[in-house]
């Protein structure tokens, strides 16, 4: 229950204050608008609704290989952040560890190389792929791509890398919200995504999934960023509608 109370406390305070001000000083129209905004805001904070909004992002690539389909020739695991532990050592985030460990399992299953992709997001830090390889003691056969700083750069860098190695089909391991944009970017760069795997959800659905909370708002906000990212990549020509 203490964890749930902390989750409730994560609700965005500025939004709550704006609604309260509109109710107090906005007159009849202000109160009506505040009521509408409140309803939409609270709906987005419900994890079950946020999950429904985010669900389409998890598609865009096969979850299992089609019967008779050729297996992937490499497994791609993009990093999801690293952090300085305060002693000068850079450690992978939880999301990064999940992606890379899942990628290792898939690479062993298919007997193909694992490719860890991640440039330096922090100008004072090392490339994420290099930091992850050191922190997780990845085997010598792991391929590191240390230059890409976002999904578009990842796709272009991998297309060059795979072109030199004659690789055409890959599997990707990333978070569920990132699958569609990453897969589309790779296809836009000429790489076939044969399989997409995401770390399993650890929490079983329960009553908390139907109560507004910071967890629900965070999921809705992350999904919104991905949808905006997809629209931006479409506008820039990183990939086309058919690649989605």
* Domain-embedded: residue 184: yes
Question: Which tokens is 142 given?
Answer: 């792991």
Residues 160 and 44 in one domain: no
pLDDT band at 105 (very low <50, low <70, confident <90, very high): very high
With a pLDDT cut of 90, the percent of the chain lying above it is: 45
* Domain-embedded: residue 7: yes
| Rounded mean pLDDT, 93-101 | 93
Strand 90-92 and strand 82-84: pairing?
antiparallel
Residues 146 and 223 in one domain: no
DSSP result, 156-190:
HHHHHHHHHHT--EEEEE--GGGHHHHHHHHHHTT
Asked if the model's pLDDT at residue 3 lies above 60, the reply is no
Residues 111 and 140 in one domain: yes
Residues 31 and 69 in one domain: no
Residues 26 and 79 in one domain: no
Q: How many folded domains does the chain comprise? A: 2
Range of the domain at 44: 2-55+211-227
Residues 94 and 182 in one domain: yes
Residues 32 and 65 in one domain: no
* Domain-embedded: residue 221: yes
Residues 47 and 64 in one domain: no
- The whole-angstrom separation of Cα 129 and Cα 242 is 30
CATH number of the structural domain spanning residue 132: 3.40.50.620
* Domain-embedded: residue 106: yes
Q: How much is the pTM?
A: 0.84
pLDDT of residue 177: 92
* Domain-embedded: residue 234: no
| Rounded mean pLDDT, 107-131 | 90
pLDDT digits (tens, 9 = 90+) for 160-215: 999 888 899 999 999 999 999 999 999 999 999 999 998 876 667 777 788 888 78
* Domain-embedded: residue 69: yes
């Amino acid at each position: 229950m203490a964890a749930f109370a902390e989750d409730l406390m994560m609700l965005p305070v500025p939004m709550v204050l704006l609604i309260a001000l509109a109710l107090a000083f906005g007159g009849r129209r202000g109160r009506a608008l505040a009521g509408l905004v409140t309803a939409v805001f609270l709906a987005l904070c419900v994890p079950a609704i946020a999950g429904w909004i985010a669900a389409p992002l998890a598609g865009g690539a096969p979850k299992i290989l089609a019967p008779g389909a050729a297996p992937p020739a490499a497994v791609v695991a993009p990093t999801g952040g690293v952090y300085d532990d305060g002693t000068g050592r850079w450690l992978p985030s939880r999301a990064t560890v999940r992606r890379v460990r899942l990628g290792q399992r898939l690479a062993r299953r298919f007997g193909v190389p694992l490719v860890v992709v991640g440039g330096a997001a922090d100008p004072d830090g090392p490339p994420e792929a290099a930091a992850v390889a050191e922190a997780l003691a990845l085997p010598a056969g792991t391929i590191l791509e240390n230059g890409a700083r976002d999904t578009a750069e990842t796709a272009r860098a991998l297309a060059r890398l795979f072109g030199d190695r004659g690789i055409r089909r890959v599997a990707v391991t990333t978070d569920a919200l990132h699958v569609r944009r990453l897969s589309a970017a790779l296809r836009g760069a000429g790489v076939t995504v044969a399989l997409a795997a995401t770390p399993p959800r650890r929490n079983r659905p329960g009553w908390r999934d139907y109560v507004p909370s910071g967890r629900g708002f965070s999921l809705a906000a992350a999904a919104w960023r991905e949808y905006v990212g997809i629209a931006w990549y479409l506008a820039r020509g990183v990939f086309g509608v058919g690649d989605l």
